[in-house]
Structure 1
Amino acid sequence: MRTPLAYRAYVGLTALAVPFAAWVVTRKLRRAGLPTHRAHEPLGHATVPREDGPLIWFHAASVGESLSVLALITRMGVALPAAHFLITSGTPTSAKLIAQRMPSRCVHQFAPIDAPGPLKRFLKHWRPDAALFVESEMWPQMLRRTRARGARMALVNARLSERSVAAWAKRPRLAAYILDVFDLILTQNDAMAQAMVRMHAPVPRVARGQNLKGFAGPLPTDADTQFEARAALGARPIWVAASTHPGEEEIVLAAHQRLRATYPDAHLILVPRHPERGQEVVQRIADTCLPFTRRTRGEAPGGAVYLADTLGELGDWFALTETVFLGGSLKPIGGHNPFEVAQSGATVLSGNHVSAFAETYAAMEAAGAARLVSGAEDLATRIAALWADDAARARAVAAAKGFAEAETGKLDTIAARLIKVLELDRD
């Protein structure tokens, strides 16, 4: 396929921008506490050796995308005992959480900048036999240069925003040139499969897959943390509001105030999506005059609200309750992953803005595993109803667990399909 002029121009511009991009990226990683040698991984400088044998590279950008493929790596590792795995991501947070849950025969590196020099160094060192890119990770040079080195390639859990689909559709030659690298494109749903075809992806290689975030497995927990929290809270009714965004904490706190009118000892564990917003959320709590304690001050749960403004402890808070509200959904953000809640043994409550997981929530609602709410009053009413009816709450929790278990059973089929298409089963 002839190289589009737009791609050539992009290559030239990125080559010129490398010094500035390198400064920005390495500075960001150093500020996050990464040692110098790791902060230079985005420039293509590997910090661990490549093991002998087949190497399968997974690239994901964010925390959610990275964690979503760990179970898939585990299943592929069982089927391919001689293979090793590399997972790349772009943020210090993702690196930290991946390190806590990484399967055997797997290493993490920060992803190379999409520019000639870093990519050449990265690919020369790692020499991947296959490369799998997650969701919307479609960096032009990363894709074309990886293909040029002979790796078989797949796009898994494909999900692009409407804006991204429209932007790619306006550049049909470039889109076709980029998407042609993939031997298989597995989308999250039928609508995204159709969008990929509109973007000029090779039709025979596009298929609907499954949302890999349903296979990530239960969140890690710490027995000591849970023991201390249970000792502090006793038999108080507890609910968790997780992954909240600006403008949502006010609604959640208003719902909690309504709940406390009926359940005076009700306790809310509030977990903002971005812990660095902790001080901002403190002000929102103070505005309500509700007594609270705060995780980053080393305090135990207490008062009416516990602000859990830390990373990596969400599994502990989910384990304390059977009632979880997921944020990113009361405002037009798209919602967050409900599978983690279901796997923890809790029923899911969410706002109506769940476009990123629309099909998942529809299926969970149909199964009785999730409920959508429209605001503070509706949220408080739903929680009060669950607390007042033990049988109804037990049915909702059982439905959530059943839904998560059914989804997990599909993972082996996906792993087998990828192994075959990427020709990883060759002797």
Structure 2
Amino acid sequence: MARSISLAAYLAFARREPATLKKITVPRPGGELVWLHCADPARARALAQLALRLSAQRTGVRFLLTTSPGTVRPDNLPSDLVWMPCPSENPLDIRGFLDHWRPDLMIWLGPWLRPALIDAAHGRGIATLLLEADTPGLENRRWRWMPEPTRATLARFTAVLTLDKGAADRFRRILPDGGPNVIESGKLLEESHALPCNETDLEDLRAALGGRPVWLAARVQPQEIPLVLQAYRAVLRLSHRMLLIVVPDRAEDFAAIRTPLAKSGLRLANWDDGVFPDDNTHVLLAESPSELGLWYRAAPVTLMGSSLAAGHGGRDPLEPAALGSAVLYGPGVRWHLDAYSRLAQAGGARIVKDSDSLTAAVTHLIAPDEVAAMAHAGWQIVSEGAEVSDQIVALAQDLLDTRGKPK
């Protein structure tokens, strides 16, 4: 497909941009490499979770994530996900980037486009997917005075997945015949897969609990323990059989969390010593978050820690929601703000700010009908994005399977 005049003009202007790409020192992983680009770093986690879903279905695939030039590595990405800022639009930078990484597939999450980079990927025969297509535009405002190359850039994609039917109809009208496959899709949402657990441990734990009400404080920081304890003591006055399960955010914090619990006067059991709670146990303490899949299944209510103490950014609320646990959380959740907002709007999560509001929330959720309604709302939020993710993964699988084959 020949370049349009507007795209050709853009590419000519892009050659004047200074080359800034330094030597890439991170080696390319062996095997298939999927390049993920996120124009908005705040959405990077959704792409990272898509990568986890694809890797679970395709053995050996590796991932590179890029964000816009000048950005830093987004918080809370999987440690094995390779990240770097994407290159400038200078052709030397683009050539060095593509020569080094040699991606087998590019998945682009807009809304902003980088025409020179996308055109070069197309020229190398790299299959390219555009997600959430609606009203894409140029990322660099300096170049918006020139003839608009957006339409020609869109034509370089293998497939365009739109936000809704209306967007799909618009793209089919403006894109040329023989251009990208336009597919009605939806928004890529943060997801969380159900964490595993030992089924025997779960059966034994439920037998030991004997129907006692349970509240889980998950991924807590040491400085959050006094607030949790204060709320728990208040809850005990109304529900004297309530069991509190405490799981630190990091195994290294176990000692710092155990000390105030041991001094509290409450009866404490340590799960990692092989102790099951009995009728006299107040607090069950686990040493690390490695068995959270067990605790989320056992507890109808979860306080997601690392959200009440400043500076920790919160932890993934979709983990407990995926396993049927209603979610309580503090105000410090910047790392997962979108997920918390979706849950709260649907009634699957509730914010607490101090021990009094935490006490009130836990007490309210002792009622089986209240906690069941909240847990169901959370489960619906977890499920709603699965269809879009499955659609993208299936398309990515097809493109990887057919790359290099004659058309």
- The TM-score, its normalising length taken from structure 2, stands at 0.61
After superposition, give the CA deviation of every residue in 1:236-269 in whole Å (9 maximum; x if it has no partner). 2111111223422222222112212222232111
After superposition, give the CA deviation of every residue in 1:366-414 in whole Å (9 maximum; x if it has no partner). 3221111111121121111111x22222222222222222232332344
**Is 1:361 the equivalent of 2:340?**
yes
Deviation at 1:132, TM superposition (A): 5.0
Report the CA distance shift for 1:211/1:285 in structure 2 as closer, same or farther (over 3 A). farther
Judge conservation of contact 1:323–1:348 (CA < 8 Å) in 2. yes
Deviation at 1:316, TM superposition (A): 0.8
Q: Secondary structure at the match of 1:381?
A: helix
**Is 1:280 the equivalent of 2:259?**
no
Please give the alpha-carbon distance, in whole angstroms, between the structure 1 residues aligned to 2:309 and 2:355: 13
**Is 1:346 the equivalent of 2:322?**
no
Judge conservation of contact 1:43–1:112 (CA < 8 Å) in 2. no
Residue of 394, 399, 402 corresponding to 2:377: 399
**Is 1:264 the equivalent of 2:264?**
no
Q: Secondary structure at the match of 1:410?
A: helix
Report the CA distance shift for 1:286/1:147 in structure 2 as closer, same or farther (over 3 A). farther
Residue of 259, 269, 275 corresponding to 1:293: 269
In structure 1, list runs of 5 or more residues that go unmatched. 19-41, 78-82, 96-108, 115-119, 136-142, 158-168, 174-179, 189-207
Residue of 358, 362, 371 corresponding to 2:350: 371
Please give the alpha-carbon distance, in whole angstroms, between the structure 1 residues aligned to 2:131 and 2:255: 37
Please give the alpha-carbon distance, in whole angstroms, between the structure 1 residues aligned to 2:206 and 2:304: 22
**Is 1:326 the equivalent of 2:301?**
no
Q: Secondary structure at the match of 1:128?
A: coil
Identity %: 24
Q: Secondary structure at the match of 1:262?
A: coil
Deviation at 1:423, TM superposition (A): 11
Please give the alpha-carbon distance, in whole angstroms, between the structure 1 residues aligned to 2:46 and 2:227: 25
Q: Secondary structure at the match of 1:349?
A: strand
Letter aligned with residue 104 of structure 2: D
Please give the alpha-carbon distance, in whole angstroms, between the structure 2 residues aligned to 1:300 and 1:185: 53
Letter aligned with residue 229 of structure 1: L
| Matching residue of 1:213 | 190
Report the CA distance shift for 1:235/1:149 in structure 2 as closer, same or farther (over 3 A). same
After superposition, give the CA deviation of every residue in 1:169-210 in whole Å (9 maximum; x if it has no partner). 99999xxxxxx9x97999x9xxxxxxxxxxxxxxxxxxx974
Deviation at 1:322, TM superposition (A): 1.3
Please give the alpha-carbon distance, in whole angstroms, between the structure 1 residues aligned to 2:268 and 2:15: 60
Letter aligned with residue 267 of structure 1: L
Deviation at 1:344, TM superposition (A): 0.4
Letter aligned with residue 130 of structure 1: L
Q: Secondary structure at the match of 2:269?
A: strand
Structure 2 counterparts to residues 1-400 of structure 1, below 5 A: 8=20, 11=22, 50=31, 55-57=32-34, 67=49, 69-73=51-55, 85-87=61-63, 111=82, 127-132=102-107, 151=126, 210=187, 212-214=189-191, 216-301=192-277, 303-332=281-310, 333-387=312-366, 389-400=367-378
- The TM-score, its normalising length taken from structure 1, stands at 0.58
Q: Secondary structure at the match of 2:234?
A: helix
Provide the aligned length of Structure 1 versus Structure 2: 330
Deviation at 1:358, TM superposition (A): 3.4
Q: Secondary structure at the match of 2:235?
A: helix
Q: Secondary structure at the match of 1:312?
A: helix
| Matching residue of 1:25 | none
Judge conservation of contact 1:324–1:348 (CA < 8 Å) in 2. yes
Letter aligned with residue 259 of structure 1: V
Please give the alpha-carbon distance, in whole angstroms, between the structure 1 residues aligned to 2:389 and 2:235: 40
Judge conservation of contact 2:249–2:289 (CA < 8 Å) in 1. no
Please give the alpha-carbon distance, in whole angstroms, between the structure 2 residues aligned to 1:228 and 1:246: 29
In structure 2, list runs of 5 or more residues that go unmatched. 1-10, 38-43, 66-72, 86-94, 111-117, 133-138, 144-152, 164-184
Letter aligned with residue 128 of structure 1: P
